[in-house]
Structure 1
Amino acid sequence: GSHNEWVAGAYEKAKSDYPGIVRVEDPIESKEDADVAYNKTKELLKKYPDLTGVEGSSANDVVGIGRAVEELGLNDKVCVMGTSIPSMTSKYLATGAIDKIFFWDSALAGQAMLNMLEVLSGGGEITEGMDLGVAGYESIKKIAGTTVGWSGAAWVIVDKDNMDQYNI
């Protein structure tokens, strides 16, 4: 899905898990530019001094957000999470300016797709709940609104304690 869909999904999940959560602004477009995310985050943190969390959807968003939080000395006050990779975020993960990042292991996704092709080439069909024999793809789900879209749950969660395990 698009970054906008990810943001909408994250917000719905947050509202479900944390009924008192308040979104202070509509999603802000960074155009996947860390400097834009940095400047917008600084503006938000000045406008809303009690802000306690910021989510970044693109890999560059998280870097810019972390930089703003670090510069303003808010590492222990503002929770920063989003999609990125350790090679871009390790500096801010180490200091706590970024709390967690998430990404997908493309090798596992590729193996899952190859296993799907193997099933299809053998005359089989792909079905809801199918185990593709790959970590994170043990029970695939049909993506609503698509004819051939399937998803797994093979995301990787990284924080300062495990960031050195990933050379990406």
Structure 2
Amino acid sequence: MFLRTSSRRRAAATLATACALAVTLAGCGGTTKKDSDHNSGGGAKATDAKADPGAPLKKGLKLAFLPKQINNPYEKIVDDAGIAAAKEFSGEGKEVGPSDASASSQVSYINTLIQQRQDAILIAANDPNAVCGPLKQAMKKDIKVVAYDSDTAKDCRQLFINQASSEEIGRSQVQHIAEQLDYKGEIAILSATQNATNQNTWIEFMKDELKKPKYKNMKLVKTAYGDDDDQKSFQETQGLLKAYPDLKGIISPTTVGIAAAARYISGSSYKGKVVINGLGTPNQMRKYVKDGTVEQFSLWDPKKLGYLGSYAAAALASGQITGAEGEKFKAGKLGEYTIGKDGEVILGPPTVFDKNNIDDFDF
């Protein structure tokens, strides 16, 4: 279970969670296709498919995890947890993927997985549309497609395993940094790639949150892109601070970006003067919290994300579900989940980490 650090955060999480099932990543992201030409149930699926909730999980299922990039430490945690989960239902999981996070870098891997006749492909998309062609070919061959972490266009997969409500993630990051800055000053966003569906959706909610009157004395001066590359993110942080000498805070909704930004600031004159917030893992950020560079940051449990993705893919491949709204399936020790609109399954609200609880987590 996630830990809470204040009643204020509990209230915010409760409010956001209440609307979670009404919000979908694909419906909010500016780069995601509309689904008006497809079925109105979940994501892409055969129109004559019928769920059999009582069907057992098949033995020997082959699941392939395709992350944004193979050397991303956060996605390694997600994928390893999913691979371990597959063993619980006598399945076989593996991770394959590119070393860079460019829009088309995943395409060749999808084609290979199709040739290998995997039972399911689980993908964290670098671009919502660049991967659609081969993913549709996979589904035509009855290979199930589950997006996780970063969605594809809705007609290119059956399910999307979302870490938390996209609205909750985006708005809460602005809320947190605003409280740290007393609602005053210039801020910047250090994102991953320009086409990353999850990043762009969260950023749209951030911008919308900033339109509220209580943020009238705050200004978003720039959105920079570190391409989920440590060195580039480090350099982008340096560039932001030089270009905007009055910058008071940076939101980085990517684990690579926030760690790189914290590393730069921790060894500079900006330490204690510029606030860093965003999404990171406790093990990456622990030293920056303890040395005072970072006061707080957020994330969900990536192990649970991979675990849920693995069980969702197995339920699809076994015919328990088709991806239609309202269908239910059991995800092992995590319990039962219900599929929401457009095939979205939400893991749960994120955790806020600070010096009071960071040592309670190890991932």
**1:117-156 to 2 correspondence within 5 Å?**
121=320, 127=326, 142=340, 147-151=342-346, 153-156=348-351
**1:69-148 to 2 correspondence within 5 Å?**
69-109=265-305, 110=307, 121=320, 127=326, 142=340, 147-148=342-343
Is 1:34 aligned with 2:253? Answer: no
Paired residue type of 1:24 = V
Query: For the residues of structure 1 that align with 2:200 and 2:260, how far apart are their CA atoms?
Result: 18
SS at match of 2:247: coil
TM-score by length of 1: 0.73
* Aligned position for 2:219: 22
CA 1:112–1:61 in structure 2 vs 1: closer, same or farther (change >3 Å)?
closer
The answer to which structure, 1 or 2, has the higher relative contact order (CA under 8 A, 6+ apart) is 2
Give the superposition deviation at 1:113.
8.7
CA 1:90–1:32 in structure 2 vs 1: closer, same or farther (change >3 Å)?
same
Is 1:52 aligned with 2:245? Answer: no
* Aligned position for 2:360: 165
SS at match of 2:250: strand
The Cα RMSD (Å) is 3.5
Give the superposition deviation at 1:126.
5.4
Paired residue type of 1:157 = V
Query: For the residues of structure 2 that align with 1:49 and 1:158, how far apart are their CA atoms?
Result: 28
Unaligned runs of 5+ in 1: none
TM-score by length of 2: 0.37
Q: Percent identity?
A: 19
Query: For the residues of structure 2 that align with 1:86 and 1:61, how far apart are their CA atoms?
Result: 14
SS at match of 1:74: coil
User: Deviations for 1:8-50, whole angstroms, at most 9, x for unmatched residues?
Assistant: 222322333523221112x211110122111111121122121
Q: Quick check: which one's strand share is greater? A: 2
The size of the alignment, in residue pairs, is 159
Considering only CA atoms, is the larger Rg found in Structure 1 or Structure 2? Answer: 2
Is 1:12 aligned with 2:208? Answer: yes
Give the superposition deviation at 1:53.
0.7
CA 1:5–1:156 in structure 2 vs 1: closer, same or farther (change >3 Å)?
same
Single out whichever of 56-65 and 150-159 deviates more from structure 2.
150-159
User: Deviations for 1:87-115, whole angstroms, at most 9, x for unmatched residues?
Assistant: 11111111222232221124555469969
Unaligned runs of 5+ in 2: 1-149, 151-196
Match of 2:261 among 65, 73, 76: 65
